[in-house]
Amino acid sequence: MTAKRNHTRRNAMRKRKRKDVKKTEAEEMLFTTTMLLAAGSTILVAAVDKTAETYGFHALGTVIRILLPLAGLAAGVYFIETNALIGWLK
């Protein structure tokens, strides 16, 4: 009987431990908003590129493949350089 009682106590302790640990909102969500936006924009760019190439606009497809990533890189650098928090940390 004592083995059964110890087992019950252990289960009760485990349940209490699980209730005490609270997850943040980001940990509860499988996909965050930022991740969904990035995935959607990637699919959109791929679809526009493929459609442009299919209908004979090869130059537009090339521009999308080359200039869009460069524009994203430039925007990322700009926003990192102008971020007030990063400037404050330096």
Task: For residue 16, tell me if it sits in a domain.
Answer: no
Question: What is the overall mean pLDDT for the chain?
Answer: 77
- Identify the CA nearest to 61 among candidates 72, 77, 45: 45
Q: pLDDT: is 60 or 87 the higher one? A: 60
What confidence score (pLDDT) does residue 78 get? 87
Q: For 30-42, how does the pLDDT look when each residue is reduced to its tens digit (9 = 90+)?
A: 778 888 888 998 8
Task: For residue 13, tell me if it sits in a domain.
Answer: no
Give the number of domains in the chain. Answer: 1
- The answer on pLDDT for 16 being more than 90 is no
Task: For residue 54, tell me if it sits in a domain.
Answer: yes
Task: For residue 19, tell me if it sits in a domain.
Answer: no
- The answer on pLDDT for 20 being more than 80 is no
What's the whole-number mean pLDDT along residues 53-78? 89
What confidence score (pLDDT) does residue 25 get? 58
Task: For residue 4, tell me if it sits in a domain.
Answer: no
Q: For 50-60, how does the pLDDT look when each residue is reduced to its tens digit (9 = 90+)?
A: 999 999 998 98
Q: Please provide the size of the chain in residues.
A: 90
**Backbone conformation region of residue 29, classed left if phi is above 0, alpha if psi is from -120 to 50, else beta:** beta
Domain that holds residue 65: 25-89
